[in-house]
Amino acid sequence: MARNFPASLAWLSRPRNRSVIVGVTLGLLPIVVAFTMMRSHWTSVPVYDEWYTPGTQIVSFFQGGLSISDLWSQHNESRKLFPRLYYLTLTWLSGRWDVKDEMLSMFALACAASFALYHLLRRTTSFALEGRLFAWALLNAVLFCPDQYVNFLWGIQLEPLIPGTLLLFAMLANLSDIQFRLKVIITAVLV
């Protein structure tokens, strides 16, 4: 390891390599800070509407009395079929209802959106690697800004994040080199 130290210093002495390190650090910093804030403030207690949707459906599911009318029931101004199916699937997979699982899913989805944004920058801009990393860091600063920390504490906020993230991946599919038929199928599934 001591032998490689001078080689590491030589690698770091190049301005481009330092810019890459700074860009990656600036891009990952908002993600790490948001995750730390979420972990230090989260709780397993559902918030407001979560007691009724998906709470009552999950109770019905565990009691064996879940019906189609439970899935299609009114919630405020909407009927949340797909979010309820998501919550039931998450509960079924984990064997419990813990809103921390929803929070982790939401955070993972935000990280997937960050990944998609970086690849969209790679495909749609002519930036060099350093510029692309700095643009990605700026987008991450918006995606994981301190104003979003409260949203990361509400598992139900996963619902408004899903369409935008799926749209980003549909855009990636459409910008790829795959056959047109597959692009149409992928876009139809995602959006």
Query: Given this model, what pLDDT does residue 11 score?
Result: 63
| CB proximity list for 86: less than 8 A, separation 6 or greater | 158
- What pLDDT, on a 0 to 100 scale, did the predictor assign at position 116? 97
Longest Cα pair distance anywhere in the chain, in angstroms? 69
What's the helix, strand, coil split of the chain in %, to 5? Answer: 75, 0, 20
Written as six digits, the tokens of 17 are 């390599």
How confident is the model at residue 139, as a pLDDT?
96
- Own/partner long-range contacts of 70-76 (Cβ < 8 Å, ≥24 apart): 75/49, 76/49
Q: What is the pTM of this model?
A: 0.83
pLDDT of res. 8 = 62
pLDDT of residue 9: 61
**Helices of type H across 42-154:** 55-63, 68-72, 81-94, 99-124, 129-143, 149-152
Mean pLDDT by groups of 10 residues along the chain of 191 residues: 61 75 92 93 79 80 83 76 84 85 90 96 93 95 89 82 93 93 92 79
Q: Residues 69, 184: contact at Cβ < 8 Å? A: no
Task: Return the pLDDT at 10.
Answer: 66
